[in-house]
Amino acid sequence: MKTKLILVLSFITSLSLAHEGVELGPNGGRILEFSKNETMHGEVTVKGDKFHIAVLDKDMKAVAMDKQTLTATTGDRSAPQKLAVEKDAKGFLVPLVKAGEWLILQFKNASGEKAITARLEYNTAICEECKNAEWLCKCKPAAEKK
């Protein structure tokens, strides 16, 4: 029984390593979940030396920026490093993290609301299949392929 479980787990791991199968947004950015019910999303793109995180609604349309707040960290859980966050008309700007590191975002739609945590591994290795960086890989997970 145990062997079988390990086999299944390693199969899942190898799949996710090969192709991330991430969700991409209207601007070709990486979609992160900014709500518990798919009503709010973040679309992460790279602009110069920063990530731009656009805030999108359930239909992937831009949301007017108002009381939304974001905190961003990177690095180890034991020693997280806080990143400076700027706000613009469409979302937030955060300095790029090092390739292979995690960007951890905590989004609040309004003050007093519970923060939603979204994570992104900034894997800049190029996917052989779609030629995008892995963090923007367009390939569907194997199970979804026709």
CB of 54 to Zn ion, least distance (A): 22
Longest dimension (CA), the chain: 54
Assess 18 for contact with Zn ion (CB under 5 A). Answer: no
Distance CA 26, CA 47 (A): 16
Using CB under 5 A, count the residues that bind Zn ion. 5
Tokens 């992160």 identify what position? 32
Residues 54-93 that bind Zn ion (CB under 5 A): none
Q: Which stretch binds Zn ion (CB under 5 A): 36-44, 55-63, 88-96, 128-136?
A: 128-136
Cβ closest to Zn ion, residue 27 vs residue 35: 27
Q: Which stretch binds Zn ion (CB under 5 A): 2-10, 46-54, 118-126, 136-144?
A: 136-144
Assess 130 for contact with Zn ion (CB under 5 A). Answer: yes
Assess 23 for contact with Zn ion (CB under 5 A). Answer: no
Task: Specify whether the CB–CB gap between 62 and 53 falls below 8 A.
Answer: no
Torsion of CA 53, 58, 60, 66, to 10 degrees: -50
Instruction: Read off the amino acid at residue 1.
Output: M
Assess 22 for contact with Zn ion (CB under 5 A). Answer: no
Tokens 């990530």 identify what position? 51
C-alpha radius of gyration, the chain, whole number: 16
Cβ closest to Zn ion, residue 115 vs residue 130: 130
Assess 38 for contact with Zn ion (CB under 5 A). Answer: no
